[in-house]
Chains A and B, each alone.
Chain A
Amino acid sequence: MMEVLGRIMCLAGAFFFLAGTVGLLRFPDSLSRLHALTKADNLGLGLVAVGLMLTSDSVLAAAKVGLIWIVAMISGSTICFLLGRSMLAGMRRRK
């Protein structure tokens, strides 16, 4: 049961990664590309992490995956903010 649920979660995460990648390639400007990318980062990675936690052998392994997710989410959102800010500053300078 857990196994099946975990795989479904991983597949759902993979779908968000795919959607994020398509967005990254197709969206017109940097800010909306960043928007697409962060969806993949947060939701995609989160779902994959939950999936892996459900299928992992031990609580310790699950906790490690959870920790990786938290650190990746914190650094990912901060970096997204910094990127967005520097893009905005660049756009203002060009005006």
Chain B
Amino acid sequence: MSMGLALDVLLIAALLLTSWRLLEASDLFQAIVLFISFGLFLSLVWLRLQAPDIALAEAAVGAGLAGVLLLGTFKGLEPDFRKKQEESKPCRLDRPGACPTRVHYLAALLGVLGLAGILTLAVLDLPRSANGLTELAVRAFEPGGIDHLVTAVLLDFRLYDTWLELAVLVLALLGVLGAGGRHSVRGLEPPWDPDPVLVWLVRLLIPVVFSAAVYLLLLGGHAPGGAFQAGVILASGLTLLWLAGYRSVTVLPRGLWYGLVICGFGSIEVLAIFASVHPETPVLGYPPGFSNPVILALESLATLSIGVVLATLTIETLGGRERTPHYSGKGDRP
């Protein structure tokens, strides 16, 4: 048995074992830790399948960020913490006298029904038998050009892929902020005072983190990388800044924050609309003569959006505290 095969068998066994233990675990905390290890094993599996793009995303999101979100949620399940949190929130969806009224709910219901109708029509409209994008994908792959098949395939579709991922992220953000009864995370402070050692680490790491994000974004044009991976790293940098008491997404003015949240989705939406009215372009295709700099610009906006949305999600989930009036110093560091 070759080394590679032995490694694969070990990895598969580890995946099966962790997923089984994860589902069996009676302790929530244990389940979360197992989920994080599951994500790490899964990213190794993606690497073995020669899909470093997905491995990067899985390690950063599946194991890293999702782990942080789950741990933050777990902390929020502790009773006294939850009480403290609820006191600081003006309105919640599950409480009488909450801010949304029946009109809001009715509008939401209509929107949901409309979307469900359109989705049903779209599913009914699908061709009964189709090869999907296989042919296109294989055509996109020119031997000798790009080392990784998955990267080559992703490159041709990635912008729209990222677009829909962004839509999901923005929806998740709406859900999390809505359930928490907050409009934004503006002015939230970290739940504990920043430790000097952490501040030191953050000062050291931030340049590395941000240059890694830019590098991944630029690398995305021809190698594994791209907007989503860069965005996740940007988000981790923003979260670290927040944890260490520096300026982060929590000091952004509301308008700028809204702009950053939707700029990625919005700009690619413009491209999609432009492509769909253009006569020679297939739906969700690039118009002819569409240049790489424009794609890079759109990907940069997407990276910004992903970074800000994910950082906001993490900060809201980790449960910051509102800025106290007598607060001085810490938030004002450069």
Chain A positions within 8 Å of B, measured between CB atoms, are 71, 74-75, 78, 81-82, 85
Contacts and interface: CB of A to CB of B under 8 A. Distances in A.
Interface of B: 195, 197-198, 200-201, 204-205, 208
B204 A74 contact: yes
A19 to B, nearest CB: 20
Contact of B208 (A71, A78, A82): A71
B201 A85 contact: no
A72 to B, nearest CB: 12
Contacts of B195: 82, 85
Contacts of B204: 74
Contacts, number: 16
B205 A82 contact: no
10 contacts: A71-B205, A71-B208, A74-B201, A74-B205, A75-B201, A78-B197, A78-B198, A78-B200, A78-B201, A82-B197
A81 B208 contact: no
Chain A binding site: helix, strand, loop or mixed by DSSP?
helix
Given A74-B201, A74-B205, A78-B200, 13 more contacts: A71-B205, A71-B208, A74-B204, A75-B201, A75-B205, A78-B197, A78-B198, A78-B201, A81-B197, A82-B195, A82-B197, A82-B198, A85-B195
A74 B195 CA distance: 16
Contacts of A78: 197-198, 200-201
Nearest to A78: B201
Nearest to B198: A82
B163 to A, nearest CB: 32
CB-based closest 8 A-B pairs: A78-B201, A81-B197, A78-B197, A82-B198, A82-B195, A75-B201, A74-B204, A82-B197
